[in-house]
Structure 1
Amino acid sequence: MTRPLRPVAITLGDPAGIGGETIAMLFRDQPDAVAGCFVVGDLLHMRRASAVLQRAGELPMPVALIGSPDELSAVPPRCIPLLQAGAPAAACVPWGRVDAAAGRIAADAVVWAARAALRGEVAAMVTAPLHKEALAAAGVHFPGHTELLQAEAARHRGVPVADMPVRMMLANDELRTVLVSIHVSLRQAIEAVTREQVLQTLRITHGALARMLGRAPRIAVAGLNPHAGEGGLFGREELDAIGPAIGAARAEGIDADGPHPPDTIFMRARAAHGKPGGFDVVVAMYHDQGLIPVKYLGVEHGVNVTLGLPLVRTSPDHGTAFDIAGSGRADPSSLLQALRMARRLAGG
């Protein structure tokens, strides 16, 4: 007898972007993949997104309102189940524009799904992209999903946010990278390269990848400076912070190696042409250093995973794509990969 899938919550994201369209595409074209899934968001906007995909001679895929994940079994096939998070919208926000109302809809969905995941009511949450400007316009004082989820997890555990350290991992079939810092300025990112921050990143990466792979991961550590500092000629962060953090991690049994020149280590770690890479993951020192290599390999296959949370959260590796929102031209491939990754991490 097949064990029923535990529910997975898919948040709508910014309703002015492509999130709703990609979700509707999955429910239309990948019914097996979305079995046991439901959308958290706004009914009016999800219906609009579904209507965008209407084919000639067909009606849009209907959206069924549910009150809780327990009602999923009563939703008819070929129907998108949606749980309304926050007050229902009176009108749709314009496609492709920053709007405070859109930011509020996106934030309400994330908060509802996070709290449900923390209570164990859903197995995982998959987040469609939100827009950071719209989030700020709505008065949400977090720069993105990662920080908002970190705050919710800390509140749930009753601990300060500082005691709930999280890291961002971006992954595809060829490369994984974990970041020491996330959404901060480059100046702040450089200041964050301390022995303690790098060591904490290595510990979080080791624990998360060990659970994911079923074995200890091989971790490459990128340097901060050109040529990994060239022995102090181009900066001392490798000598004063990164190297000592690697040494401390290795003393704890973590297979960490480096610091390596950041312009070559991603190529060494990449799995390609049917051959595994030299490392399972690269720890990068700041946002763009780590994300450019993964995104260059194709955003349609990338998945964003938040490490360190007491819940499973994944997200597609693309933004709101305001320039094509409402056109029906969005590609749901990354969302599908995010959903599959969430299922694997949740154990079913």
Structure 2
Amino acid sequence: MNWLVTGGAGYIGAHVVRALEAEGLGTVVLDDLSSGRRAFVPEGVPLVHGSILDGPLVDRTLHEYDIAGVIHVAGFKYAGVSVQQPLHTYRQNVTGTANLLAAMQERGVERIVFSSSAAVYGTPDVDLVTEDTPKSPESPYGESKLIGEWMLRDQGVATGLAHTSLRYFNVVGSGTPDVYDVSPHNLFPLVFDALLDGRTPRINGDDYPTPDGTCVRDYLHVADLAAAHVVAAKRLADDLPIEPVYNLGSGDGVSVGEIMRAVAEVTGIDFTPEIAARRPGDPARIVASGELAARDLDWRMRYSLAEMVRSAWEARRAAGGGGS
């Protein structure tokens, strides 16, 4: 059985590919390399260079590589930018997913794990987010992910598609020194690039009603995230019961201030973050329960905060240079 990983040359997707390979599962990558990197794909894993917007290409890939299931990680993932580029976001995330599902239906591929997002919740008014927390996305990105979940649900009703969607927050760390987070918008790359460039990292607001005044979020190690995707895929392959959605959450969260202190300790670079104004719409705390995923997907937080930071820092430094 070969699994197709869309977006498998990206930071998260490349870790999913490695986790599949470690389980002895055949893997094929489809990626347009708009944010992914060819070097992130392990040697021996076929890389189909192209977009999920190219329906005929997706169809050929499913057929030529005898694909039995899909882990769908590809997408436009920048929530803030999506507000300025809504049509681009919907085209990549909604039209692209529709193309993928259409090709799967045509080729009889009946299993899919969808990499969704906690952005579907918007700013929840609860201390601990569960799968049943009301969905109220606040960006085209979050909306597009929720629409993706709806499409899987509706295909399940119409065709019997076996599916699950994994919602998660902030992904950090590295499970291998040759793959690291290259996003220009994520916290760890921003902090590391600042330090490597001799600049002082910045915190947006330190007057929130949290223990140290900074925002609290779920921060998940990418290797844990990848492992959960693979367990979900194996449950689908074995026709085991599976929920339509799971939150991959820590249950308690980490503050931005704690991250900054851990970065200073791990890197050995002594710094005091600059404090900037709050960003509009940033809630004080968003943390999700991972209980359902722990029950079904062997979901666990296997890494301490220091280990998350250290693995990310070592991979970033192995890449060389300052800046991104």
Q: TM-score, normalised by structure 1?
A: 0.35
Structure number with bigger Rg: 1
Greater RCO between the two (CA within 8 Å, min separation 6)? 1
